[in-house]
Structure 1
Amino acid sequence: MEAWVRFSAQSQAKERLFRAAQYACAVAAEALRRNGGGGGAVRGLRQLEAHLGLGRKLLRLGSSAEALEAAKRSIHLSDTVLRFCVTLSHLNRAMYYACDNVLWTGKTGLFPNLDQEKWSHRSFRYYLFALIVNLSRDAYEIRILMEREAAGKRAKGSENGCQLRADNGLQQLGLRLQIQLRILIRVLRNNPPLLLDVVKNACDLFIPLDKLGLYKTNPGFVGLCGLTSSILSILTILHPWLKLKP
């Protein structure tokens, strides 16, 4: 109960709940449509999805400043690659939130003549850039951990028999791929925060790709990806040790 109280007191946590509910509505609406459900129910779920999305935009007002502060802190990271990736991710998030705030003013009627489609595309472009940088950072961390794992195995002189000489180049390539796959699985299994971050970013990636028309899927799939990443985000808020640092 104490963890839930702390969770509900955070604006980011409330935004994640709104996000999960929004994408759950998208999944439910698409499932109803595919199964021949009533048009009224589908329209109701679509309207609820839109209202939840508007509520999320309200909760994100001011998030640009938080992202800029996070970027200022990440400049001091000692690792050059991490410093570049984390700082660039925060800067793209700041621009994404700024465009999203402008879009909110148009949707609420404060600026009725705002070109909402243009600002929506701008926000999703910054969102896509941030996710690409996040996945690049994940790949970098995975590579570092895999190199350490492989070095440790070589130092102990135990590769579980995988260092046997192969008869030809193809077999050698197959053995190397098996070794790398085993190391990758071991690294991700031993680092839950990194695994969750990879899955979350990979799921989120389909959202801007679909919205920008770069990789069209369907509302149900996009909703499922958004719902999955939202649940993972909620887990990292409830259990801070699951959040990838820095």
Structure 2
Amino acid sequence: MHPLVSKSLKIWATTLGRDKTYRAIQYFARFYAYILLTRGDKDAAQRWNALKNHLGLGRKLMRLGKPLEHLQAALKASQSIALSRQSAERFTTVARQLCYAGYLAFDAVVWANSVKFINLLPPKADRTLRISLRFWFAGILFGLGNGLLKAGRLANEAKALKAVGTTEKSVGDNAANETKLKVLERERAAVRYQMLLDLMDMWIPATGLGVVNFNDGVVGLLGVITSVMAFRSQWNSLQMG
């Protein structure tokens, strides 16, 4: 009945919590299999590769409905009143969500072919995978662009609040400004955190596309780190009832 156990059970009751946990294990298996192969232990590496592959297929199955979530998020962002004055932020937000929807839609086709529900010829299967990776890579790039724009806007807002604070004489006004500054600092920290996650995550699809030539050890380690970071964000945002 410890609160830590209760919170763990609550986060693992969510699809996102389970997905990030499976993702961390999947990429650790990729990393560890590479280490075992470099040591010449092919039998053990094969077991970890099998775990990686099965977790990957399981995660694809869990994500079959997610393209609709991203399409809905894109629609909401396009109609957002809060983003109406931030056209560049709105564009990058919508573009990111559309790219993720495209990535997951093609990823579903990859899954269907992997489980033999459909049968694609090898060249077409490879092309489908590459299209999926391109959408993923583009989504991350749009996310980074959005982060830069948002970070710049929040920095300007914080600077303006600090400038106003130096001229305010009312204690109440100063207190209100301090509260707003704290909210802005939390938002800025969240944006920086997400940008760091995206900066590391982008090398995974980039490697699959041949943009860079990282080995499975590096890719696996990056995947573990970003999975733990995403899980941590979800953990911190979870409210215990």
Same fold by TM (over 0.5)? yes
TM-score by length of 1: 0.78
Separation in 1, partners of 2:17, 2:130: 26
Amino acid at match of 1:139: L
User: Which residue pairs with 1:239 in the alignment?
Assistant: 236
Q: Which runs of 4+ in 1 moved over 6 A?
A: 153-157, 187-190
Amino acid at match of 2:227: S
Distance 1:150 1:228, change over 3 A: same
- Aligned-pair Cα RMSD in Å: 2.1
Separation in 2, partners of 1:222, 1:113: 27
User: Which residue pairs with 2:140 in the alignment?
Assistant: 131
User: Which residue pairs with 1:107 in the alignment?
Assistant: 114
Could you tell me whether the CA contact under 8 Å between 1:76 and 1:83 is conserved in 2? no
User: Which residue pairs with 1:24 in the alignment?
Assistant: 28
Could you tell me whether the CA contact under 8 Å between 1:67 and 1:93 is conserved in 2? yes
User: Which residue pairs with 1:5 in the alignment?
Assistant: 9
Give 1:55's match in structure 2, choosing from 54, 58, 71.
58
Give 1:192's match in structure 2, choosing from 185, 189, 193.
189
Q: Given the alignment of the two structures, is residue 46 of structure 1 paired with residue 49 of structure 2, yes or no?
A: yes
Structure 1 window deviating more from structure 2 (202-211 vs 78-87): it is: 78-87
Separation in 1, partners of 2:44, 2:193: 34
Could you tell me whether the CA contact under 8 Å between 1:189 and 1:195 is conserved in 2? no
Could you tell me whether the CA contact under 8 Å between 2:106 and 2:131 is conserved in 1? yes
Amino acid at match of 1:46: N
Separation in 2, partners of 1:227, 1:54: 17
Structure 1 window deviating more from structure 2 (68-77 vs 187-196): it is: 187-196
Q: Residue 74 of structure 1: CA displacement?
A: 1.2
Residues 7-33 of structure 1: per-residue CA shift (max 9 Å, x gap): 111112212111111101111112223
Distance 1:116 1:188, change over 3 A: farther
Q: Residue 237 of structure 1: CA displacement?
A: 1.5
Could you tell me whether the CA contact under 8 Å between 1:210 and 1:217 is conserved in 2? yes
TM-score by length of 2: 0.80
Structure 1 window deviating more from structure 2 (144-153 vs 5-14): it is: 144-153
Alignment of 1:68-217 (within 5 A): 68-77=71-80, 78-79=82-83, 80-114=87-121, 115-151=124-160, 191-217=188-214
User: Which residue pairs with 1:14 in the alignment?
Assistant: 18
- Structure 2 counterpart SS, 1:42: helix
Q: Residue 150 of structure 1: CA displacement?
A: 4.6
Distance 1:40 1:200, change over 3 A: same
Q: Residue 156 of structure 1: CA displacement?
A: 7.5
